[in-house]
A and B are shown apart, each in its own frame.
Chain A
């Protein structure tokens, strides 16, 4: 097949782009020619005619190609499923297993033919007894989980045939579209044609597409979580999830999957983190915005913001090897503040992983979030208010306490809420610093665990996506999402309301 290259999306894309490139020069030249070589006669600069042609050639063609690429596997699958025996398509699970086998075999066959290991007659010979196929495919680098059944080979053959045929059709359609767009735009290249406005609209469409992609992705994330969560609640009573008191996943069944101990751990660690981050961050922001000289400020602010750039796993290591052992040396057995006498010889802290360890380190992580946002907000308080206060004989700290902070307060609250949603969503520090025991306890020196770390542990390793122990991760994730989304919405609302006051 001489048109094979049309089936390859990459070469097809390059082809369409070169058509667009040709269109650019053709349209530009035609516009110039019809203007008699004088660019001032044209409605738009010559480049715009070229860009219009390139746009008309490339955008519809590539768009159709992308949609086709997304839709084709589904259509082929629908064509293949009726070929499979009834036993293989009993449940959705087995169907998807067989289909993935079919796809692997189809891919393997293509690869084998490319490498010259097999050819069409050899495959036809295997049709009745494909027992040697597994070894052959392993030879070209495609490992199969089991022997190839004859019906799988037949389905794979059909898949390959359909893919090759439709790939060719796709290629032809896309190239035809590209050429049609090119012809249309080049024909239109005329001094009276408003190419500049067309390009402008094209730019707007591009920007709209980018913006809606971001929004649609968010929507997609929410929906995928929502469907899995609905699956979970069909397997597990919601009363236990929201109101139960125990977290004890058990892959043999009989799990107790309640969010409350995890939510408690999450909130407890976040509160400790905020108790560290809010005062330190706020005071740092006040110092930087009100007291520090401009030179110091320009040096210190980026330094503080470096803290925000440290990967959280590094903070986790810091918690694990530095902060945890240090806290144990103070609060653990034999430590200065272990309170052993008060508690029948038990030290206050027994292990390095504890709520307080994770909370302290997370607090350090949040300092730049609080300080950087608060600094911006404090700077937004008009200088005239400070002048008014100084003019009445107030000191700088009185001015800050009585005038600047009250004026900046809504914004600062917004900053703190944003930091809180970071804390709630934080994972790595908690994995390494807080331990893995789900419990509801008021003692900050005990190990606890959070929603995020449980999501990780439920989804790592060999997981079966039909069991409630796995699906609970999605319910946890959705709850977390709703929680942080709520905090962010409140925070943004407050910050925005505040911004309007001075603008």
Chain B
């Protein structure tokens, strides 16, 4: 971290983990995100809610530059992670994604063994010096993913053979195995049944001890259950951002109130 020559922006950013200012995203001719400003704090769960197509997933994918893999997507504005602009040409998006892990809407285990799925990130980043260390990383990640007890006896079995909820927890374990600082979750429970959803939500609450978690969700109950801060997006605008309790009890913006009471969606 740089010292006394910090810009005012960096000073603000110090309090928060991620600081986005004036973010605009275009998909071809579509203006998907319009001038969004968000501060995401460390060791907090931040939920993005809003109707379908409001840009919450797009904004999430800006935070680890996953939008770079889409040709027609253009991102403008500034996103600071620990005070450093992640869209600076000096930043390697590949390194950034190791620091900002991501869990997707649909469980996407690789067609490999459970062990190899979790060891994938540590292997490509050279996090383990030897097999014993790698075993340890894999076990720790699977424990954090709350799936260790279910799979410890069949680490060599294919990850695609697990149930949907187990697959999603395996994907979370795979993401935490690279020791990220931020974990982005794009509707991680939308493909899961209520029991698996409850397990993943419990897991998200535990992950808060170590990481800054950002979760996109369609379920307002889920946002209320797991998050401390909530951002409401509507038609590409960030309408309201604040403490979850406040958003759900006394929203300031009429659109937020309409949405959480189910009048728009």
The residues of A with any CB-CB pair to B shorter than 8 Å are 293-294, 382, 384-395, 398, 402-403, 406-407, 501
List 5 additional A-B contacts (Cβ < 8 Å) besides A388-B110, A394-B120: A385-B111, A391-B104, A393-B125, A398-B124, A407-B111
For the complex, give the distance between the alpha carbons of A382 and B120 in Å.
18
Q: Contact check, B97 vs A393: say whether CB atoms are below 8 A apart.
A: yes
Query: Which DSSP category, helix, strand, loop or mixed, fits chain A's interface?
Result: helix
Q: Contact check, B101 vs A406: say whether CB atoms are below 8 A apart.
A: no
Q: List A contacts of B109 (CB < 8 A).
A: 388
Q: List B contacts of A391 (CB < 8 A).
A: 64, 66, 97, 101-104, 175
Q: Contact check, B110 vs A385: say whether CB atoms are below 8 A apart.
A: yes
Residues of chain B from 91 to 138 with CB closer than 8 A to chain A in the complex:
94-99, 101-104, 106, 108-112, 120-121, 124-125
Interface size bucket, B side? 20 to 34
Q: Contact check, B110 vs A389: say whether CB atoms are below 8 A apart.
A: yes
Report B241 CB to chain A, min CB distance, Å: 25
Q: Contact check, A393 vs B178: say whether CB atoms are below 8 A apart.
A: yes
Q: List A contacts of B96 (CB < 8 A).
A: 393
Q: List B contacts of A403 (CB < 8 A).
A: 110
Q: Which of A387, A398, A403, A501 has the most CB of B within 10 A?
A: A387
Q: Contact check, B124 vs A384: say whether CB atoms are below 8 A apart.
A: no
Report A108 CB to chain B, min CB distance, Å: 72
Q: Mark B66-105, 1 if CB is under 8 A from A, else 0.
A: 1001010000000000000000000000111111011110
Q: Which of B99, B101, B109, B124 has the most CB of A within 10 A?
A: B124
Q: List B contacts of A406 (CB < 8 A).
A: 110-112
Q: Contact check, A390 vs B66: say whether CB atoms are below 8 A apart.
A: yes
Report B184 CB to chain A, min CB distance, Å: 8
Q: Contact check, A392 vs B101: say whether CB atoms are below 8 A apart.
A: yes
Report B181 CB to chain A, min CB distance, Å: 12
Q: List A contacts of B98 (CB < 8 A).
A: 392-393
Q: List B contacts of A390 (CB < 8 A).
A: 66, 69, 97
Q: Contact check, B71 vs A392: say whether CB atoms are below 8 A apart.
A: no
Q: Contact check, A384 vs B104: say whether CB atoms are below 8 A apart.
A: yes
* Chain B minimum-CB-distance residue to A387: B104
Q: List A contacts of B66 (CB < 8 A).
A: 387, 390-391
Q: Of A294, A385, A393, A501, which contacts B124 at CB under 8 A?
A: A393
Q: Which of B71, B94, B108, B174 has the most CB of A within 10 A?
A: B108
Q: Contact check, B124 vs A402: say whether CB atoms are below 8 A apart.
A: yes
Q: Of B71, B95, B112, B171, which contacts A393 at CB under 8 A?
A: B95
Q: List B contacts of A501 (CB < 8 A).
A: 111
Report A383 CB to chain B, min CB distance, Å: 9
User: Which 10 residue pairs are nearest across A and B when measured between Cβ atoms?
Assistant: A393-B98, A391-B102, A384-B108, A393-B97, A392-B121, A388-B108, A407-B111, A394-B124, A395-B94, A398-B124
Q: List A contacts of B64 (CB < 8 A).
A: 391
Q: Contact check, A388 vs B171: say whether CB atoms are below 8 A apart.
A: yes
Q: List B contacts of A388 (CB < 8 A).
A: 104, 108-110, 171, 174
For the complex, give the distance between the alpha carbons of A384 and B107 in Å.
9
For the complex, give the distance between the alpha carbons of A386 and B121 in Å.
13
For the complex, give the distance between the alpha carbons of A398 and B124 in Å.
8
Q: Of A387, A398, A402, which contacts B69 at CB under 8 A?
A: A387
* Chain A minimum-CB-distance residue to B97: A393
A-B contact pairs, 6 of them (CB 8 A): A293-B71, A392-B175, A398-B124, A406-B110, A406-B112, A407-B111
Q: Contact check, B97 vs A402: say whether CB atoms are below 8 A apart.
A: no
Q: Which of A293, A382, A386, A390 has the most CB of B within 10 A?
A: A390
Q: Contact check, A392 vs B124: say whether CB atoms are below 8 A apart.
A: yes
Report B14 CB to chain A, min CB distance, Å: 25
Report A392 CB to chain B, min CB distance, Å: 4
For the complex, give the distance between the alpha carbons of A403 and B112 in Å.
9
* Chain B minimum-CB-distance residue to A294: B71
For the complex, give the distance between the alpha carbons of A294 and B72 in Å.
11
